[in-house]
């Protein structure tokens, strides 16, 4: 594990973008990246769009989402891929054949599909204040899980409901790459910004590896890079 502490959110966004661009350039052959939706990467995608849009020299880069909350009716694509399109794929004009969608239908094929494509070169992850990453929330997946379906109890439904304008679309399950799927990537990049992440980052960096903090397992990866801004790193 290498921990990089930067000044603020803007620098965090820049360094994360540099790291992904570095992955894109590392090989002329196909490069596979799994990337995160959410709020932390917003600044990074803004920078990344400028560097990637219209650049045919990045046509070797393929993208994966690592979790998905589907619409119950199946009327449209899921929440994660929708966010990724809005934040990055659409403004960066990533062609459809380079977007590899994980959804509620195909999740059982995800690990095989990724392996056959050569494996993930890198996966960019956020972390929740509760220690979750991807859809690996406390009490959901086990450390031994590959990509899996998580059945939502009422509390979980309540938690994910705000993603849906029409609450009736809240699904009974979501899907996520599990701990073993994530650990199979060649490079894990985890980033966190702001005071609200300071406590979990202390627990993550200095604390035990425990089910209660799902992300804690990632510390065992041979190539994990953690990027924090000063606020997120303040308790280290």
Q: Which residues bind its own copies (CB under 8 A)?
A: 2, 4, 18-19, 21-30, 51, 57, 115-116, 118-119, 142-144, 179-180, 183-186, 207-209, 217, 219-223, 225
Under a CB-based contact definition with an 8 Å cutoff, are residues 80 and 41 in contact? no
**Would you call 130 a catalytic residue per the annotation?**
yes
- Which of 62, 83, 121, 132 is catalytic? The answer is 132
Alpha carbon dihedral 200, 204, 205, 211, in 10-degree steps, equals 160
Separation CA 213–CA 196 (nearest Å): 16
Separation CA 68–CA 72 (nearest Å): 12
Phi, psi (degrees; rounded to nearest 5) at 234: -65, -20
Tokens of 159: 């938690």
Angle between helices 9-25 and 42-52 (to 10 degrees): 40
The H-assigned helical ranges of the chain are: 9-25, 42-52, 79-84, 110-116, 154-160, 179-183, 198-206
Q: Which of residues 121 and 169 has its CB atom nearest to its own copies in the complex? A: 121
Widest Cα–Cα separation across the chain: 47
- Which of 8, 59, 130, 153 is catalytic? The answer is 130
Q: Which of residues 103 and 145 has its CB atom nearest to its own copies in the complex? A: 145
The owner of tokens 């690990």 is 111
CB of 114 to its own copies, least distance (A): 10
Separation CA 132–CA 125 (nearest Å): 10
Tokens of 65: 């989402």
Q: Catalytic site residues?
A: 67, 130, 132
């Amino acid at each position: 594990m290498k921990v990089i502490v930067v000044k603020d959110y803007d620098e965090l966004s820049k360094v994360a973008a540099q790291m992904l661009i570095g992955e894109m350039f590392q090989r002329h052959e196909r490069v596979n990246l799994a990337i995160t939706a959410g709020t932390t990467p917003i600044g990074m995608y803004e920078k990344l769009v400028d560097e990637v849009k219209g650049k045919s020299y990045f046509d070797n880069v393929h993208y994966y989402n690592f979790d998905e909350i589907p619409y119950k009716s199946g009327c449209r694509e899921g929440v994660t891929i929708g966010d990724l399109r809005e934040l990055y794929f659409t403004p960066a004009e990533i062609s459809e054949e380079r977007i590899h969608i994980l959804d509620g239908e195909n999740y059982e094929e995800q690990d095989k599909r990724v392996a056959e494509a050569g494996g993930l070169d890198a996966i960019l992850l956020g972390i929740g204040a509760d220690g979750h990453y991807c859809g690996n929330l406390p009490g959901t997946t086990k450390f031994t899980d590959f990509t899996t379906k998580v059945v939502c109890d009422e509390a979980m439904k309540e938690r994910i409901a705000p993603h849906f304008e029409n609450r009736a679309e809240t699904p009974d399950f979501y899907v996520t790459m599990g701990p073993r799927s994530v650990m199979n990537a060649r490079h894990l990049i985890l980033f966190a910004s702001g005071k609200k992440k300071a406590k979990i980052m202390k627990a993550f960096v200095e604390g035990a590896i425990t089910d209660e903090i799902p992300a804690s397992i990632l510390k065992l990866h041979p190539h994990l890079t953690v990027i924090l801004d000063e606020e997120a790193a303040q308790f280290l």
